[in-house]
Structure 1
Amino acid sequence: MKKRWISIVMAAAMLAGTLAGCAPKPVEATPAPTKATEASGDTKEAGTQAAPDTEDLPVLKVAVMPFLNSIPIKYMIDQGLDTKNGFKIETVYFANGGAMNEALAADQWEVGTLSAAAVNSLAIYGAYCIADIGHSEGGLYTLCKPDSPIAKVKGNNPSYPDVYGDAETLKGAVIATNTGTISHLNVIKWLEKLGLTTEDVEIVHMDFPSAYQALMTGNCDVAALNPPTSYQAEGEGMVITSSLTNLGVPQFDSIIVSNKAFTDKRDVLVNYVKAFFEATDALQADPDMAAQLLLDWYTENGSESSLEACKTEIETRPFVTSEEAKTITIGDSVQITGEFWVSQELLEESRFPDIAKHVDDTIVKEALGY
């Protein structure tokens, strides 16, 4: 296929904000605009007894981002699950996981939820992974136009019957994605299943909205996207050529805690994990409520979406319930990502063993009683 490079698309890529949380330039952390530490519950009418004093409860500085993985935190605050479990949440807002990692070094947050960016949290900043709380592989798609030759070939590798493309149709293809992210990993795993390497295609770095636009305007052959742009492309009739789900690559969003909090606030973290899974249980039990909460969160943080797209995201990227958590081996996902980052020279190989050293399952076991 003819290689294309459209300067206006790349200019847009440089200007648009990064939606992935892996290796972007950091932005300054700012407190969330709402008072996250305010005790939740029904508003008291005049003359009724005042709410219990929560001033003496320990505070956890919790990082949030404008993505699905922060919805349980929003639910915890809205429903007062923090104060119910003996602590208060103080939120600190970040645009992406890269910015969270930079702030981690400055002790600007104690607990957060990350997927790919957790590699640096553990290997470089000494944080700990203490629970896996959401299936982040859902919605991570490579997509092409329906009239693309790639879309005409399905199941070339019989072990992956839902994967499109083959060596002939992909050779020389221009693939737009945010490099260094899990979407980039999806591209590499897709090529591997078809007997190809990154040397057989042209991978162009763009943020996800720009990659989406490049696909829609014909300025790339394939776009590797994450939600919500992946669902937008699917809704426009683009063909899902691969996903981490149909490639059998597990990925989780995980609860990450700073080294200092892990050492000094273990009892509070047990209560935090307990409250977090109370939230995921409720969200999984009521997907319509979860989808509306997600749409409100996107809108509040300046992202465009729709209720239908949010319903799809909730369905394809389910939260881990308290029962499922008991069956998961914590750390497997971040190990896979770490290996990928080493292969892409995004992480020094000498730091890779530190990932396993910073995985701990004792807190979630105490919180959930198994």
Structure 2
Amino acid sequence: MRRFLTLVVACVVSLTFPGFLAEADAQQPVVRFATLTSISKAPPAVVAEKRGLFDKHGVKVEMKLFAEGRVAIEALAAGQFDIGMFGDIPGLALLARGYPGKIIAAGLGGPARQAVLVRKDAPYQRLEDLKGKKLGLTKGSTDELALEASFTKRGLRWDDFTVIDLKQGEKATALQLGHVDVVEAFEPVPAIIVTKGIGRRLLTAHGEIPDIIGVIIASTKFLESHPGEVVKFLRALHEGAQWAHAYPNEMVDLLHKELKVDRPVLIDSIPRQWWYVEVFSHTLEDWQRAADLLLRLKRVAAPLDVKGLVEFKFLAEALGKKYPLGVAAADVLRYPNVTVRE
């Protein structure tokens, strides 16, 4: 009887005040979300949007994908977005500049997504063979963290190379035309270079470093004003990451359609991804490594203590776990296996 009366009241309200429900819906907070078009950042959010996961979890999201991380960072800093997903280096640099926000989750990862590439016919077999050569990378990105790990492992230094700052989209052409001898890049740029016959992977960061983990940063104002929306957003994004991992063949079709990336590139690059938002046992250490690199490269004026920049209670409520987890990403994640062909 009570349920019947509730339905009657709802019907009366909707018929008597037709604008009431629309007005209530319009007042629901919107999560303005910025991330990148890269294969490492966009997929879980694209899945969440296109498969209705944001709607399923009751959160309204306005999402914009940026081709360049620097532009996305500037947009978040200017208050145009509430939450952003970026690489660790640019994200930490933003917080070091005084941006009022917190890291609330991992921004996806996977060391195999970072690669050092040379031209296809180049004689180089080791990174050490390239001492004195022109090295193209994107300054202020995860390129620097991956290379730092590879340099340290081999006793190399930054001044062993002539470093040239390139945008991600410039690297394939720069390598092909001989403007640089070697590039460091994250997917899908390595896959583009390989599938177009321009170059080959000399090494990836897999085995060089535990992981290269991006960050999800939210403004303090939004965290304080709309904590429930943040929880629902993270829940939907996590579910999107899980779906992407479980259905890599379907991801080829989805990302080809939504990101306009060639299928051969996706087939090559998807198996090199770990898509996740969870914080593992090594995550804080990995982020601290990135923060320390920023100091060594004189990108920040003072040391950063990463532990003071994070807030995981929203992630804990979203997924029902305590973070950081007691396991490493490599203990629970596997690279996706794509079986479709061109």
Q: TM-score, normalised by structure 1?
A: 0.72
How do 1:57-76 residues align onto structure 2 when only pairs under 5 Å count?
A: 57-68=28-39, 69-76=41-48
1:118-160 Cα distance to aligned partner (Å, 9 max, x none):
1123322132111114215332111123543422xxxxxxxxx
Post-superposition offset of 1:183:
1.5
Distance 1:343 1:297, change over 3 A: farther
How much has 1:193 moved relative to structure 2? 2.0
Tell me the alpha carbon deviations over residues 144-192 of structure 1, each in whole angstroms, 9 at most, x when there is no partner.
Answer: 23543422xxxxxxxxxxxx243xx233122122223222333333232
Matched ranges for 1:1-370 at <5 A: 54-68=25-39, 69-116=41-88, 117-124=90-97, 125-151=99-125, 164-166=126-128, 169-235=129-195, 236=197, 238-299=199-260, 305-320=261-276, 325=278, 327-350=280-303, 352-353=304-305, 355-370=306-321
Q: Match of 1:361, as an amino acid?
A: F
Greater fraction helix: 2
Assess, with a 3 A threshold, how the Cα gap between structure 1 residues 197 and 326 changes in structure 2: closer, same or farther.
closer
Q: Cα gap change, 1:329/1:127 in structure 2, threshold over 3 Å: closer, same or farther?
A: farther
Tell me if the contact between 2:35 and 2:86 (Cα under 8 Å) persists in the aligned partners.
no
Contact 1:61 1:110 (C-alpha < 8 Å) held by counterparts: yes
**AA matched with 1:129:** I
Q: Could you tell me which runs of 5 or more consecutive residues in structure 2 were left unpaired when the two chains were aligned.
A: 1-20, 322-342
CA-based RMSD: 2.4
Change (3 A) 1:365 1:248: same
User: Do the aligned partners of residues 219 and 268 (structure 1) sit closer, same or farther apart at CA in structure 2, a change above 3 Å counting?
Assistant: closer
Question: What percent identity do the matched residue pairs reach?
Answer: 21
TM-score (norm 2): 0.78
Change in Cα spacing, 1:92 to 1:209, as seen in structure 2 (3 Å) is closer
Whether the aligned pair in 2 keeps the contact of 1:60 and 1:111 (CA below 8 Å) is yes
- Post-superposition Cα deviations, 1:28-87, rounded to whole Å, max 9, x if no partner, equal xxxxxxxxxxxxxxxxxxxxxxxx964343321111332231222222222222232222
Change (3 A) 1:276 1:210: closer
Amino acid at match of 1:223: V
Amino acid in the other structure paired with 1:200: D
Number of residue equivalences: 295
Q: Separation in 1 of the partners of 2:289 and 2:282?
A: 13
Quote the Cα distance in structure 2 between the aligned partners of 1:209 and 1:326: 30
